[in-house]
Chain A
Amino acid sequence: QVQLVESGGGLVKPGGSLRLSCAASGFTFSDYYMNWIRQAPGKGLEWVSYITSGNTIYYADSVKGRFTISRDNAKNSLYLQMNSLRAEDTAVYYCARQANWGLIWGQGTMVTVSS
């Protein structure tokens, strides 16, 4: 079955950097679009970025120029490099596989940006 396991979250100071990883299994990773979505504490879902199977990339305006999505099909892994972090980036970050424009989600990793 599809399994997505995020890692790399933690506490970071404003202006700092963090790299999130998502390990995928149970499907042919290279065939699928992959997304990052976040959820601030007590708030709704916010789409962050996706990367297509052909490595075309899209970002939300709120993270453009600060975050970089990438994938390594040989390692069945998705990444999110987050730079210039702000307090408003504090959230649970979910990795999600996209198929038929529906998302299958991992369990998430918490990122806290605070001094």
Chain B
Amino acid sequence: QSALTQPPSVSGSPGQSVTISCTGTSSDVGSYNRVSWYQQPPGTAPKLIIYEVSNRPSGVPDRFSGSKSGNTASLTISGLQAEDEADYYCSSYTSSSTLRFGGGTKLTVL
């Protein structure tokens, strides 16, 4: 059960946009619209920011958006703010009825 593939780190300046990719296989990301994204600032629990590929829970700014193409899902954060600095994780349902997480991406706001 290997993890979904995410870049270890991304960075951007305030006001810019960044995109974090999450690559799986036809047994998970490619077959289901059950991809979610989580934000985890240091020392805190993860927080849901995107569910079912592109839906935002109430209270999550529309600067956060999600998409999917084939076996790769993406999280885009536009209008970067200092408070966005955190670790980001993707997750997908799998054909084995389990959940699989990405390895995580550290976002640095320059």
Contact of B46 among A45, A60, A99, A100 (CB under 8 A): A45
A47 touches B99 (CB 8 A): yes
Query: What are 9 A-B contacts with C-beta separation under 8 Å?
Result: A37-B99, A37-B101, A44-B3, A45-B101, A58-B98, A101-B36, A101-B93, A102-B55, A103-B36
Q: Can you name the residue of chain A whose Cβ is closest to the Cβ of B99?
A: A47
A104 touches B36 (CB 8 A): no
CB within 8 Å of A: which B46-103 residues: 46-48, 50-52, 55, 57, 89, 91, 93, 96-103
Main secondary structure of the interface of B (DSSP, over half): strand
CB within 8 Å of A: which B2-46 residues: 3, 34-36, 38, 45-46
Contact of B45 among A47, A58, A105 (CB under 8 A): A105
Q: In angstroms, how far is the closest chain A Cβ from the Cβ of B90?
A: 10
B48 touches A104 (CB 8 A): yes
User: Which bucket holds chain A's interface residue count?
Assistant: 20 to 34
Contact of A107 among B34, B35, B45, B50 (CB under 8 A): B45
Report which residue of A47, A94, A102, A104 has the largest number of chain B beta carbons within 10 angstroms of its beta carbon. Answer: A102
B101 touches A101 (CB 8 A): no
Q: In angstroms, how far is the closest chain A Cβ from the Cβ of B30?
A: 15
Contact of B89 among A44, A60, A101, A102 (CB under 8 A): A44
Chain A residues, Cβ within 8 Å of B50: 102
Q: Can you name the residue of chain A whose Cβ is closest to the Cβ of B1?
A: A61
B47 touches A105 (CB 8 A): yes
> Does A67 interact with chain B (Cβ within 8 Å)?
no
